[in-house]
Chains A and B, each alone.
Chain A
Amino acid sequence: MKARLACAMRPTTLAMGIAVAISLAFGAAAAAADYPAVTYERLTAAQSDPGWLTYYRTYNGQAHSPLKQIDTANVSGLKQVWSYKFPANLKQGFEATPIINGRFMFVTTPKDNVYAFDAVTGKQLWKYEPNLGAESFKTACCDVINRGVALYGKNVYVAMLSGDVVALDAQTGAVVWKKQMFEPGLGYAFSLAPLALDGALVVGSSGGEYGARGFIAALSPDDGSLLWKRFTVPAAGEKNADTWPKGMQDHGGAPAWLTGTYDAASKTLYWGVGNPGPWLADLRPGDNLYSDSLLALDPKTGNLKWHYQYTRHDTWDYDGVNTPVLATIKYQDKDYDAIIHADRNGFFHAIDRTTGKLIYAKTFVTASSVTGYSADGAPIQDESKYPKAGTTIETCPSFLGGKNWWSISYDPERHLAFVPSLHACMSLTGKSVNYMEGLPYLGEGFEIKPEPGSKGYGELQAIDVNTGKKVWSHWTKMPWNGGVATTAGGLAFSGSLDGHLYAFDEATGKVLWESPKLASGIIAQPSVFEVDGKEYVAILTGYGGANPIWGGPMAKAAEKVPLGGTLYVFALNHA
């Protein structure tokens, strides 16, 4: 109003005003044209893309960037380019991996807000704030977190604690469609980044602590219509339903709460399944399929090709959701198209991804519940580590696992996997329990204890996938809860609860660079990307997640870590 008055009095200014308006409009149009549609072809070829298009960067789950501008020689010159501080009232965990397409960067925050930034300047482009009701936060076991978005076409997709899957316009943040998959607060939640396939958006449910029968579902990216939905616990009459006592399947848990991986060549979707419910195994005799298992699925139908169960008849909360990474390995002079996987139960597995047969399983932390695997790949478990109603057992790893959801990275050139691992044990006491909707369904009391003889709770380790043996390790007193991203520059980036982002020499584990102390601890995975010929590293800080709630002595060890979220981007040659 004021400008118009001024213009009316002064014709020259009016002319200038029009010119500015035109250039602004043109700028918006140019930006719109800039947003490159994310096609199935681009996702299949994501390894050579300069961005970070999908949760694990590529369908194979390797989180390994081909970029090498930043390398072992110059990484010490890495400097902050920009940062963005999220609203101070978000004091929960920031677990999302930044997703980059062109120069658009998308991150999610606790309580399912979505932000879009210019990846180079840090300018906020839009934000989407769903303002979920408190019911949505009721059955989130381990903080009200979100792990990130999926990109497909011109949309950004987020799966929320409320049960909604939402498609947003990537350029404006406007809601394109919204589909609710369940009512919040009764047991289910979404916390994962969806996975975009060829004309399908795949999601999996959380809720293993609330007796919510797990499912994996595929939606149409166009309108959210349901393409298929597969429960992870067979219904009565279905194959393997007899691995449960009758009626216990209905609240059998077995959630599918972490993003899976995909083999575009064989058209196979790999998805991990979590713990059975209730925790107290005595209440559900049987193998309890497909809890703690890896599923190989037909992505068009959700039909099961094969399954592999890491832990049977679990009573220790050893979810099998940790990322199944596709890797070509050579073990004992034999080549395999394998899946490598660091399980909660403390074993690092290599599995033939065509047949689902175990190639090897080796401990990467102290493991006493599962003690080994038989020749045919079945877990061997110590019967004395099962609590009964009224008895207590001690075992390792703890219910948080030898490794939790934190993404590993795999460098195919060096055949090294970089595994954030957790050294903790626990006592478990059995209690009788009945299912009640909306209430945790455990039947066990628990207490975390340090692993005897361990140098700390946290260890980032490099494992040679051709032998399953540890090559180097980096120990910390506090847990190491951050994911890893590696690059062809020979670097492994990973952040610590101490508030520093580190660059390790992939070959030796030597710390070649550490960031200045950032605003909070790190529990997210960095992503690495290139825009206009320049390489960047992005990381979310914001301590939270399972550790401060359930970590016991590990929570205590990290209690001084400041809360609140900030997004940082680093590059070379910045003042």
Chain B
Amino acid sequence: MKTRLNSLAACLLMTCGAVLPGFATAGVRVCTFPGSPSTALDQAVTREAFRAAGIAVSLAPGGFNGTDDDGVSLKELGKALGHSCDVIAGFPRSSVADGSDSKLLFSRGYLRAGYVSVSMKDPSAKSAAATDIVAATYASPAQLIAVQQHDVTLDLENTPELTVDALAKGRAQRAIVWYPAVVAYSLAHPQRHFDVVGTASPYADWQLVFAFGPAHAALQQRIDAALAKMTANGTLAALTRQWAMPDTAKAAQPVKDRYAYLDGPVRVAGSSAMALASARLPIRGGNFIKVDATVGGDPPSFDRAQVAHGKSVYAGSCAKCHGAQLQGVNAPALRGPAFAPAANAHLTIGGVFGYMATNMPADRPGKLKSEDYADLMAFLLNSNGYSAGTTKMTADSAKASSTPLNAGPSH
């Protein structure tokens, strides 16, 4: 599904209206959010909004360098804004997003795209299982919402498409999933019919917006004005009709927004985008499906300069508790089997990185620069038998890594 949409995006390249000063003659380059099920809609809204604003546009491929099935990297999105595109369409924003470190600008929302609870319309297609199994997308708001429902067994799936598929194939009785994924699935499988209701959770409510690089405030204002016009004259409603959440779903959404935008009206952050990213993690049996770290591909690459810099950051911020030789003092060792097993580790590079970047160093938790955390991770990996390569590790590539961390001999 995703591949089809992305290749569709790659094929589309259209220009209309006048070229905005400062942009290449091909017009403003608009990418779509990688892997999003709403790509077709995002492109349609892009064409119409830019036409209404009188700005030439070219639709660039949705996939950027450095993003893959392991997750969408906000850093990479930021980088893509400038290299491969000027605007990202279909950027999901939430009122509970963590507003930490993005400098992006955002348009008003053009589609309310929330998390919904979905079941099959045709009862015969439902699974015969006695327990209430709920499918949710791993490491997404769907998981947060699903876990808050009482007396359910979770079936965690890797992508929104697979989450809907789990329901369609009878692996689950219900699915908590992002509504655009339901629409996309229904378009691809017209024989499937779903019942959709809302989920009353602060994590459920999302909007699709355009994201701009920090230098494009003027462009952002023009697109906002165009979207306002499209809302007023009904164009937007017509374009999004197929994608709009049914009233049954809207009704159950939280009546009042409990959380203001933490990131201000035109800024967003990491976790809103990260949270929607799907991780490539297989499913295990049992009631609560745990992360199985036995597969996950290659570890993220890091380079020698990072190891060297990570070593100096370590000496200044970590050695006091973990020891100058990573041997452990009053905090655990960070090398060898006392840090991670030599094989079959149940912890991943991303898991270790996530804990470190949130809670370490203990006297200044989360206060280091994200580059320093990435360099520390490079130093830790190198100290546990991982070789340096030529590509730099980023905080996002480290965090997204589902590769098990097995401690080998030091380098």
Asked if B158 is at the interface of the complex by the 8 Å CB criterion, the answer is no
The smallest C-beta distance from A235 to any residue of chain B, in angstroms, reads: 11
Task: Say what secondary structure dominates the interface of chain B.
Answer: loop
CB–CB A138/B329 < 8 A: no
Chain A 510-552 near chain B by CB (<8 Å), digits 1 or 0? 0000000000000000000000000000000000100011111
Asked if B239 is at the interface of the complex by the 8 Å CB criterion, the answer is no
The smallest C-beta distance from B74 to any residue of chain A, in angstroms, reads: 13
Asked if B247 is at the interface of the complex by the 8 Å CB criterion, the answer is no
Chain A 553-570 near chain B by CB (<8 Å), digits 1 or 0? 001100000000000000
Which residues of A lie under 8 Å from residue B256 when comparing CB positions? Answer: none
Asked if A223 is at the interface of the complex by the 8 Å CB criterion, the answer is no
CB–CB B288/A549 < 8 A: no
Which residues of A lie under 8 Å from residue B363 when comparing CB positions? Answer: 549, 551-552, 555-556
Asked if A139 is at the interface of the complex by the 8 Å CB criterion, the answer is yes
Which residues of A lie under 8 Å from residue B293 when comparing CB positions? Answer: 436
Q: Which residue of A lies closest to B339 (CB)?
A: A138
Task: Say what secondary structure dominates the interface of chain A.
Answer: loop
Chain A 278-310 near chain B by CB (<8 Å), digits 1 or 0? 000011111000000000000000000000000
Known contacts being A549-B331, A556-B363, is A389 close to B96, with CB within 8 Å?
A: yes
Q: Which of A144, A247, A282, A552 has the most CB of B within 10 A?
A: A247
A13–B329 Cα distance when bound, in Å, is 52
CB–CB B332/A431 < 8 A: no
CB–CB A134/B338 < 8 A: yes
CB–CB B150/A285 < 8 A: yes
CB–CB A390/B338 < 8 A: no
Q: Which of A390, A444, A446 has the most CB of B within 10 A?
A: A390
Q: Which residue of A lies closest to B259 (CB)?
A: A391
Q: Which of B259, B293, B346, B355 has the most CB of A within 10 A?
A: B355
CB–CB A138/B355 < 8 A: no
A550–B363 Cα distance when bound, in Å, is 6
CB–CB B98/A390 < 8 A: yes
CB–CB B147/A283 < 8 A: yes
Those of B336-354 within 8 Å (CB) of chain A = 336-340, 346-348, 351-352, 354
Q: Which residue of A lies closest to B143 (CB)?
A: A432
The smallest C-beta distance from B71 to any residue of chain A, in angstroms, reads: 13
CB–CB A388/B333 < 8 A: no
Which residues of B lie under 8 Å from residue A245 when comparing CB positions? Answer: 147-152
A556–B362 Cα distance when bound, in Å, is 12
Which residues of B lie under 8 Å from residue A437 when comparing CB positions? Answer: 346-347
Asked if B359 is at the interface of the complex by the 8 Å CB criterion, the answer is yes
Those of B274-291 within 8 Å (CB) of chain A = 275, 286-288, 290-291
Asked if B365 is at the interface of the complex by the 8 Å CB criterion, the answer is yes
CB–CB B288/A246 < 8 A: yes
Asked if B237 is at the interface of the complex by the 8 Å CB criterion, the answer is no
The smallest C-beta distance from A130 to any residue of chain B, in angstroms, reads: 15
Q: Which of B147, B150, B271, B327 has the most CB of A within 10 A?
A: B147
A379–B150 Cα distance when bound, in Å, is 22
Asked if B254 is at the interface of the complex by the 8 Å CB criterion, the answer is no
CB–CB A250/B288 < 8 A: yes
Which residues of B lie under 8 Å from residue A434 when comparing CB positions? Answer: 139, 290-291, 351
Known contacts being A140-B332, A549-B321, is A247 close to B144, with CB within 8 Å?
A: no
Which residues of A lie under 8 Å from residue B333 when comparing CB positions? Answer: 134, 137-138
CB–CB A282/B148 < 8 A: yes
Which residues of B lie under 8 Å from residue A138 when comparing CB positions? Answer: 328, 332-333, 338-339
Q: How many A-B residue pairs have CB under 8 A?
A: 143
Which residues of B lie under 8 Å from residue A242 when comparing CB positions? Answer: 150-151
Q: Which residue of A lies closest to B269 (CB)?
A: A390
A140–B321 Cα distance when bound, in Å, is 13
Which residues of B lie under 8 Å from residue A446 when comparing CB positions? Answer: 359, 365
Those of B301-336 within 8 Å (CB) of chain A = 321, 327-333, 336
CB–CB A92/B355 < 8 A: no
A548–B329 Cα distance when bound, in Å, is 12
Known contacts being A134-B338, A544-B330, is A440 close to B290, with CB within 8 Å?
A: no
A436–B351 Cα distance when bound, in Å, is 7
Chain A 451-477 near chain B by CB (<8 Å), digits 1 or 0? 000000000000000000000000000
The smallest C-beta distance from A300 to any residue of chain B, in angstroms, reads: 32
CB–CB B352/A439 < 8 A: yes
A446–B359 Cα distance when bound, in Å, is 7
The smallest C-beta distance from B341 to any residue of chain A, in angstroms, reads: 8
CB–CB B365/A388 < 8 A: no
A95–B147 Cα distance when bound, in Å, is 39
A270–B17 Cα distance when bound, in Å, is 78
The smallest C-beta distance from B283 to any residue of chain A, in angstroms, reads: 13
Chain B 14-45 near chain A by CB (<8 Å), digits 1 or 0? 00000000000000000000000000000000
CB–CB A246/B151 < 8 A: yes
CB–CB B355/A143 < 8 A: no
Known contacts being A436-B291, A439-B351, is A92 close to B330, with CB within 8 Å?
A: yes
CB–CB A185/B338 < 8 A: yes
Q: Which residue of A lies closest to B272 (CB)?
A: A390
Asked if A199 is at the interface of the complex by the 8 Å CB criterion, the answer is no
The smallest C-beta distance from A543 to any residue of chain B, in angstroms, reads: 10
Which residues of B lie under 8 Å from residue A555 when comparing CB positions? Answer: 363
A143–B336 Cα distance when bound, in Å, is 19
The smallest C-beta distance from B348 to any residue of chain A, in angstroms, reads: 7
Asked if B262 is at the interface of the complex by the 8 Å CB criterion, the answer is yes
A165–B203 Cα distance when bound, in Å, is 45
Interface residues of A (CB under 8 A from B): 91-93, 133-135, 137-140, 143-144, 185, 236, 242, 245-248, 250, 282-286, 388-391, 429, 431-440, 442, 444-447, 544, 548-552, 555-556
Interface residues of B (CB under 8 A from A): 96-98, 139, 143-144, 147-154, 202-203, 259, 262, 271-272, 275, 286-288, 290-291, 293, 321, 327-333, 336-340, 346-348, 351-352, 354-355, 358-359, 362-366
Complex A-B, nearest 10 residue pairs according to Cβ-Cβ distance, in ascending order: A247-B288, A134-B338, A247-B287, A437-B346, A390-B98, A436-B347, A436-B351, A143-B330, A138-B332, A445-B358
**12 pairs, A vs B, C-beta closer than 8 Å:** A134-B327, A134-B337, A137-B328, A246-B287, A282-B148, A389-B144, A391-B262, A433-B354, A435-B291, A442-B355, A446-B359, A447-B365
Known: A134-B333, A246-B154. 5 other contacts (CB 8 A): A138-B332, A286-B150, A389-B98, A390-B272, A556-B363
